[in-house]
Structure 1
Amino acid sequence: MVDRTVRILAAGTALPGAPIDTETLAARFGMDRLWQQWVDTFIGTRTRHLALDLETGEPRESLADLATSAAAAALADARVSAEEIDLVVLGTATPDTLMPATVNVVADRLRIDGIPTFQLQSGCSGAVQTFDVATSMLATGRYRTALVIGGDVIAKHYDVTTDLAALPPEELVNYVLFGDGAGAAVLTAEGHDGSPEIRTVLTRVAGLDRRPGQVLRWYGLADRDSARAPADEDYKAIEELVPQLADEVAQELLDDLGWEREGVGYLLPPQLSVTMTDKITKRLDFPLAEEITCVGETGNNGNALLFFQLERLLARMTAPSRAIAVAIESSKWIKAGLALEQHGSV
């Protein structure tokens, strides 16, 4: 096996429609001021973007639409053509259809053909998992350049006629926590010394004997009239376990590379909500790191989040410097992370 350095050239993102603030959500669903205060205090997310018309519930953009836009932006920023891509990997919890795979719809729209494509079904760790697959394949020497994509369109599970006041907390939280979006990045093993190096990628399942923290159901013809909610989550379990798993990821990355916390200049923490991100960041305790966060503006858009963070990181990462990114998937509990290093002198 040929061991080659893999670098990230560029990232691109896409959001559907205009930002929707909590006041707009409250007005649409008839929620009072106390509910808005609850969202501000316990969630903290200020705006989110939804791929549906909030008044009618009609879909406006699909995951393929958003992923294609994000991928095109990443390719343009990297100055890489579709013909130069040797591998495409998409991570999502919410594909547009079971078949065809959304990754292949995106590839077709980008005029990419004749290469390996992979679609990973995963929650928030799926974005990191795309890096795991792509960097492993690039390191073999058989492939030169990869396009990795992550995104989710969660709003298609919303019922805009729902009486939010009647929902239990495990269902209510989904209406304020999540948003839609997609992101992409171009990775290469072909030179580009000025671009950040992907030093290591970590993904570990951590769900043994643990109940799922989140369930997202896909109904078929046989059970579409089920009384079960399309989505629910155990927010208390998530609040307790995610900071712990995030700390484990960060420590394993540091140990693997021989880095000290004080030597990390940028931290990309898990992006569940503003409140949870603050809690996790304090637990991680990187004293000199600049926090790269986006969830306050984008909402929790799942597998897109890492790419929004990377887009911001790449715009400000100096040389030399190091960055740690952590993502935790709370459905059946996957811990994931990656480390980047920008070499060179100041």
Structure 2
Amino acid sequence: MSRAAVLCGLGGWVPAKAVANSTLAEQLDTTDEWIRTRTGIRQRFVIDPGQATSDLAVEAGRRALESARRTREHGGADGGPAPDVDLVVLATSTPDHPCPATAPVVAHRLGLAPVAAFDVGAVCTGFVYALATAASMVTAGLARRALVIGADTFSTILDPADRTTRAIFGDGAGAVVLRAGRPDEPGALLGFDLGSDGGGEELITVRAGGSRQRSTGAPAPEGDEWFSMRGREVFTQAVLCMSRSAEALLDGIGWRGEELDRMVAHQANVRILRAVGEQLGLAEDRLVVNLDRVGNTVAGSIPLALADAAASGGLRPGQRVLLTGFGGGLTWGSAALRWPELHVEPVPGLEGDEPAAAPDTHP
């Protein structure tokens, strides 16, 4: 039987500082109602001064590794002897430094060096791209066990005066452990669909700081150092691309949309989640939603939602689960698996606050 990458550990992490909509309303020209009715978000978490993406990635990674260990001890999805992790892939658009990559630092701090470690940059689709990359290396025999992390600290690149982006984005991280196994095992990644369209690069961007701007030798125009997004166009493209990607993947593995038990999509906007769910014929109770409590955590979004739902019982062994994301680039991607039995601890700061059904918003 062919080799497969099997999900066997899961963990999430958010910073200690929660920022409610009411706090933003005091700082900006906005209200709690304006934010909730347009996005479904009521709070987000942000790092303290001096913290960085690697700090969140290390904590999420540590919890995923512990989840794999405990799952193995309890005879769950990781039932055999555990080889050491020999690959770390970090999805992020907010690395600690432009150079070097952040993944080697994370691997070192977790005591995993000298394993292979590198970053993947696909913005909000980053985790799906990283998952596909690591799974391919496992199935090809280049790695036996991989730690895949999605982590971002978008609070560091948001314009302090922009009420729209500051309302949407939060900081957070999630991680999974993959091991070599069989395609018929629960937790085996059954397939991927990935795509991009660089013609839409201006829809989601930070214009300054890269080689194109720096090569001019001129200072960046004011405001270009901050993240920007053309919201209406992004909304349309996100629904279209995630729906098409999900449908292509489901066709490829022989599943129908209505057979899905859970869709864990990138947590961007609750209206986007609903629209994609409708395209796939899913009732709202099959959508995993935690953006109301964490906001859009970019590459951390999907694995953080997985950890949150798994710890609260929202994901159960045997369920058919679809992951799908959309982000800058433009990029998009989807993955599918049958959910395994895992030991997952609640995400600190989110304990006792279960992932919601899609919250009410105005159309």
Query: TM-score range, shorter-chain basis?
Result: 0.7 to 0.9
Rounded to whole Å, the distance in 1 between the matches of 2:275 and 2:264 is: 13
Determine if contact 1:294/1:305 at 8 Å carries over to the other structure.
no
Deviation, 1:104, is: 1.0
Change in CA separation of 1:43 and 1:129 when aligned onto 2, cut-off 3 Å: same
Deviation at 1:277, TM superposition (A): 2.4
Residue 125 of structure 1 contacts residue 334 of structure 1 at CA under 8 Å; is this kept in 2? yes
After superposition, what is the alpha-carbon deviation per residue over 1:142-182, rounded to whole angstroms, capped at 9, x for unaligned? Answer: 3210000111111112454x3xxxxxxxx541110100111
Post-superposition shift, 1:290? 1.8
Shift of 1:249: 1.0
Unaligned stretches of 5+ residues in structure 2 = 73-80, 342-363
Task: Pick one of 298, 303, 314 that aligns with 2:299.
Answer: 303
| Structure 1: distance between partners of 2:104 and 2:221 | 31
Deviations 1:226-257 (A, max 9, x none): 31331111101012111111110111111100
Q: Which residue of 2 aligns with 1:337?
A: 334
The amino acid of 1:255's aligned partner reads: D
Displacement of 1:268 after TM fit? 1.0
Tell me the TM-score normalised to structure 1 length. Answer: 0.85
Please tell me the root mean square deviation across aligned C-alpha atoms, in Å: 2.6
* 1:126 maps to 2:126: yes
Q: Which residue of 2 aligns with 1:148?
A: 148
User: Which residues in structure 2 correspond to 1:11-30 (within 5 Å)?
Assistant: 11-29=10-28
Cα 1:314–1:44 shift into 2, 3 Å:
closer
Q: Give 2:98's aligned amino acid.
A: L
Match of residue 221 from structure 2: 226
Give the 5 Å matches for 1:311-326. 311-315=307-311, 316=313, 317-326=315-324
**1:70 to 2:69 alignment:** no
Q: What is the letter of the counterpart of residue 318 of structure 1?
A: R
Tell me the distance in 2 between the aligned counterparts of 1:319 and 1:113: 33
- Deviates further, 316-325 or 135-144: 316-325
Q: 1:142 to 1:270 in 2, by over 3 A?
A: closer
Count of residues in Structure 1 that have an aligned counterpart in Structure 2: 323
* 2:113 partner SS: coil
Please tell me whether the aligned partners of residues 262 and 321 of structure 2 are also in contact (alpha carbons under 8 angstroms). Answer: yes
Partner of 2:197: 206
Cα distance in 2 for residues equivalent to 1:266 and 1:338? 12
Equivalence map 1:108-187=2 (5 Å): 108-160=108-160, 162=161, 171-187=162-178
User: Mapping of 1:237-248 within 5 angstroms?
Assistant: 237-248=233-244
Amino acid in the other structure paired with 1:245: C
- Kindly provide the CA deviation profile for residues 185-218 of structure 1, in whole angstroms up to 9, marking residues without a partner as x: 10001479874221112211134x4453211245
Asked whether the equivalents of residues 91 and 120 of structure 1 are also in contact (C-alpha less than 8 Å), the reply is yes
1:82: how far off?
10
Alpha-carbon spacing, 1:306–1:70, altered in 2? closer, same or farther (3 Å) = same
d(CA) in 2 for partners of 1:122 and 1:23? 31
- Structure 1 residues 158 and 189: CA distance shift in structure 2, 3 A: same
Long gaps (5+) in structure 1: 53-58, 163-170
Give the TM-score normalised by structure 2.
Answer: 0.81
CA–CA separation in structure 2 for the residues paired with 1:117 and 1:130: 11
Distance 1:281 1:288, change over 3 A: closer
Identical pairs, percent: 26
Q: Distance in 2 between matches of 1:43 and 1:321?
A: 28
Match of 2:24, SS? helix
Closer, same or farther in 2 for the Cα pair 1:267/1:102, shift >3 Å?
same
Provide runs of 4+ in structure 1 moved above 6 Å: 80-83, 191-194
Q: 2:83, 2:145 within 8 Å by CA — same for their partners in 1? A: no
Q: C-alpha displacement at 1:289, in angstroms?
A: 6.6
State the shift of 1:224 in Å.
5.6
Match of 2:132, SS? Answer: helix
Change (3 A) 1:224 1:284: farther
Q: Is the 8 A contact 2:181 2:188 kept in 1?
A: no
How far, CA to CA, are the matches of 2:340 and 2:83 in structure 1?
29
